[in-house]
Every structure is written in C-alpha cells, then in structure tokens.
Amino acid sequence: MTATITDMHADDVVSIGEIERRNYAVPWTDGIFRDCIKAGYKGFLLKDDGHLLGYAMLQIGYKESHVLNLCIDSPYQGLGYARLLLSHMESVSLAERAETMFLEVRPSNPRARALYEANGFNEINVRKDYYDTPTGREDAVVMAKTLVR
C-alpha cells in the first residue's frame, strides 16, 4: 500500500461529497463536512498517487474521540484502506490524550461492523432510529474501544 493520509480542508469538500453520494443512500451534505471543519474536527483524506480513495472525520473532546464518518470509495473497499484510516485516527486520538474511541455503525453494514470488531471495538449500546434511510429510520450500534498508551 502506497497510500498517504493528509489533513482535510474546506476546499476538499466537493471531492469528498462526490464519494459520499456514490457510497451512501443517505449521504452527508457538503455543508455538514464544512461545518465539521469549521468546528475544528479532524478530517483526513486517504490518497494514492494523488487520487482520493476515502476520507474520515474525527471529533476529539475531553479524554475521548468519536469517529463521525469513515468512507472508502467502493472500487477500493476490501483492500485494507479503512483499517489504515481507522489506525490513523486511533494514533491521532492517543496523541490528543483520548482514552476511549466511540463510533456508530448501521446494523445493515456487516462489513463495517466486522472491521470495527476486528480492531478492538465492542458494542456498548443501541441508539434507536438514529440513521435516516430512504424508507424510514434505522438503529445504530454504538461501539467503543479503550485506547492503550
């Protein structure tokens, strides 16, 4: 893997939004990404040879971090790129003194859930009707990982 991870900036939002809309039935809007960047959340781009493969958004607060979004464009899924971004977010979280990392995942996304479980995340709760879907609402499985220094 020769992919590199760089910080996300507001001028990256158009490219991110294109990937977001290709990969999610109910995608984040460009405005949500811009708001996250304005709020100081940490966004990351995963590129290979200048080509955007995926991205992630991480919120870090007092002793915890929260994976808000992690997406690998569909042609590049299953190649270990999500694991690479997740590992990077864990390193950034540790550097910012976070002790626990949280995320939500759709029950209808078993590949993502398996990725998180394989990387030490455990189910801690369910948020009822958390996600929008094209036909209604879907629960979210809340997962957490204790970070070790």
What is the torsional sign of CA 6, 8, 12, 15?
positive
Catalytic (active site) residue 104? yes
User: Catalytic residue among 104, 117, 130, 138, which?
Assistant: 104
Give yes or no for a contact between 10 and 37, defined as CB atoms under 8 angstroms apart.
yes
Q: What angle do CA 99, 101, 105 make, to 5 degrees?
A: 165
Residue in this structure with the two tokens 């629960």, named with its chain if needed: 139
Q: Which two tokens stand for residue 148?
A: 């070790």
Catalytic residue, chosen from 41, 76, 81, 116, is 116
> Exposed (0-12), middle (13-18) or buried (19+): which is 130, by Cβ within 10 Å?
middle
Known catalytic residues are 104, 116
